[in-house]
Amino acid sequence: MPRLPAPPIPKALQPKPKRPGQNGNGKASPTEVAQEAGISVVDWIDERTSLSGGIRWMLFRKVPRGVNWYYTLGSATMFAFLSQAVTGVFLAMYYRPDATGGAYESMRYIVDDAFLGQFVRGMHKWGASVMVILIFLHMGRVFFFGAYKYPREMTWIIGVVLLILTLAMSFTGYLLPFDDRAYWATIVGVNINGTAPFLGPYLSDFLRAGPEFGATTLSRFYAIHMLLLPGLIIALIGAHLYLVSKLGISAPPWLKPHEEPELDVAEV
Amino acid sequence: MPDKRKENLSKYTVDLNMPGAFEGETVTRRRFMNVSVQAMGGVAAAAFTLPALGFAIGPVFSREPFEWQIIGKPDDFQPLVYSLRVITLVPNVGEAGKSTAYVRARDPAIDTEPEDEYNHIIALTSRCSHLGCPVRWVESASRFLCPCHGGIYDFRGIRVAGPPVRPLNRFYTLIRNGYVYLGPMYSVNTELRRFSNRDPGQPVDGIGQFLYPARFSTSVLPPTGHLPMPPPGIPAG
Question: How much is the pLDDT for B11?
Answer: 66
| Residues B73 and B98 reside in one and the same domain | yes
| Residues B133 and B32 reside in one and the same domain | no
| Residues B49 and B80 reside in one and the same domain | no
| Residues B10 and B121 reside in one and the same domain | no
Amino acid in the structure at residue B12:
Y
CA distances from A24 to A16, A36, B3, B30, B45 (A): 17, 17, 77, 66, 64
| Residues B122 and B207 reside in one and the same domain | yes
Residues of A within 8 A of B66 (CB-CB) are: none
Residue B101 predicted with pLDDT over 90:
yes
| Residue pairs between chains A and B whose CB atoms are closer than 8 Å | 95
Residues of A within 8 A of B97 (CB-CB) are: 212-215
Separation between Cα atoms, residue A234 and residue A152, nearest integer Å: 20
Q: Do B90 and A216 touch (CB under 8 A)?
A: no
- The 10s digit of each residue's pLDDT in A145-158 is 999 999 999 999 99
Q: Do B90 and A213 touch (CB under 8 A)?
A: yes
Question: How much is the pLDDT for B92?
Answer: 83
Q: What are phi and psi of B125, to 5 degrees?
A: -75, 155
Element (H, E) at B185: strand B179-188
Q: What is the mean pLDDT of residues B42-54?
A: 96
The set of residues, in sequence order, having a beta carbon less than 8 Å from that of B124 and lying 6+ positions away, is B82, B101, B102, B103, B144, B157, B168, B169, B170, B171
Q: Do A204 and B59 touch (CB under 8 A)?
A: no
Please spell the DSSP secondary structure of A148-207, one letter per residue: TSTT-HHHHHHHHHHHHHHHHHHHHHHHTT-SHHHHHHHHHHHHHHHTSTTTHHHHHHHH
The answer to the question of residue B20 being in a domain is yes
Question: How confident is residue A3, by pLDDT bands cut at 50, 70 and 90?
Answer: confident
Q: Do B59 and A210 touch (CB under 8 A)?
A: yes
Number of domains in chain B: 2
Q: Do B201 and A209 touch (CB under 8 A)?
A: no
The set of residues, in sequence order, having a beta carbon less than 8 Å from that of B103 and lying 6+ positions away, is B71, B72, B77, B82, B83, B84, B85, B121, B122, B123, B124, B173, B180, B182
Question: In this structure, are residues A193 and A207 in contact, taking their beta carbons and an 8 Å threshold?
Answer: yes
Which residues, numbered 94 to 113 in chain A, qualify as contacts with chain B under a Cβ-Cβ cut-off of 8 Å?
99-101
| Residues B81 and B190 reside in one and the same domain | yes
- The 10s digit of each residue's pLDDT in B78-98 is 998 999 999 999 888 888 889
Separation between Cα atoms, residue A97 and residue B55, nearest integer Å: 19
Residue B1 predicted with pLDDT over 60:
no
Question: How much is the pLDDT for B20?
Answer: 63
Question: In this structure, are residues B221 and A206 in contact, taking their beta carbons and an 8 Å threshold?
Answer: no
Q: In what order do the strands lie in the sheet with B159-161?
A: B136-138, B143-145, B152-153, B159-161
- The 10s digit of each residue's pLDDT in A194-248 is 999 999 999 999 999 988 998 889 999 999 999 999 999 999 999 999 999 999 9
The answer to the question of residue B222 being in a domain is no
Q: What are phi and psi of A157, to 5 degrees?
A: -65, -45
Q: Whole domain around residue B9: which residue ranges?
A: 4-61
| Residues B54 and B74 reside in one and the same domain | no
Give the domains, in start order, of chain A with CATH numbers. Answer: 69-247 (1.20.810.10)
pTM comes to 0.84
| Residues B131 and B183 reside in one and the same domain | yes
- Å from A174 to nearest chain B CA? 16
Cβ–Cβ contacts within 10 Å for residue B34, how many? 12
The answer to the question of residue B177 being in a domain is yes
The answer to the question of residue B106 being in a domain is yes
Question: In this structure, are residues A117 and A109 in contact, taking their beta carbons and an 8 Å threshold?
Answer: yes
Question: How much is the pLDDT for B18?
Answer: 62
- The 10s digit of each residue's pLDDT in B170-185 is 999 999 888 999 999 9
The answer to the question of residue B147 being in a domain is yes
Question: How much is the pLDDT for B13?
Answer: 64
The set of residues, in sequence order, having a beta carbon less than 8 Å from that of A4 and lying 6+ positions away, is none
Q: Does A232 touch chain B (CB under 8 A)?
A: no
- The 10s digit of each residue's pLDDT in B188-236 is 999 999 999 999 999 999 999 999 999 998 877 777 777 777 766 555 5
Helix A229-247 vs helix A73-91: crossing angle, to nearest 10: 160
Residue A35 predicted with pLDDT over 90:
no
